[in-house]
């Protein structure tokens, strides 16, 4: 009987490691996206009105 909880704990630990790895990849990709957006908009005046919405459509 004591093997069953150990097996379940091992499965849970393996799943948590997978989730952690996925979250770390998401964090890396989001950081890369933020950096790319900063570089793309780096030359613009931060106080100026935006020319486009976040989806790319022009502001009116």
Asked whether the whole model's pTM tops 0.85, one would answer no
Please, are residues 41 and 34 in contact by the beta-carbon 8 Å criterion? no
Residue 35 in tokens: 């950096």
Chain segment 5-49, per-residue pLDDT in tens = 789 999 999 999 999 999 999 999 999 999 988 887 666 677 888
Q: Is the pLDDT of residue 56 over 70?
A: yes
In sequence order, the β-bridge partners of residue 58 are 52
Hey, is 52 helix, strand or coil?
Answer: strand
Q: How far is CA 8 from the centre of its chain?
A: 29
pLDDT at 2: 59
């Amino acid at each position: 009987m004591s093997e069953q909880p150990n097996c379940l704990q091992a499965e849970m630990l393996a799943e948590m490691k997978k989730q952690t790895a996925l979250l770390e990849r998401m964090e890396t990709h989001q950081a890369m996206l933020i950096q790319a957006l900063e570089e793309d908009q780096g030359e613009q005046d931060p106080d100026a009105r935006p020319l486009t919405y976040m989806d790319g459509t022009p502001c009116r």
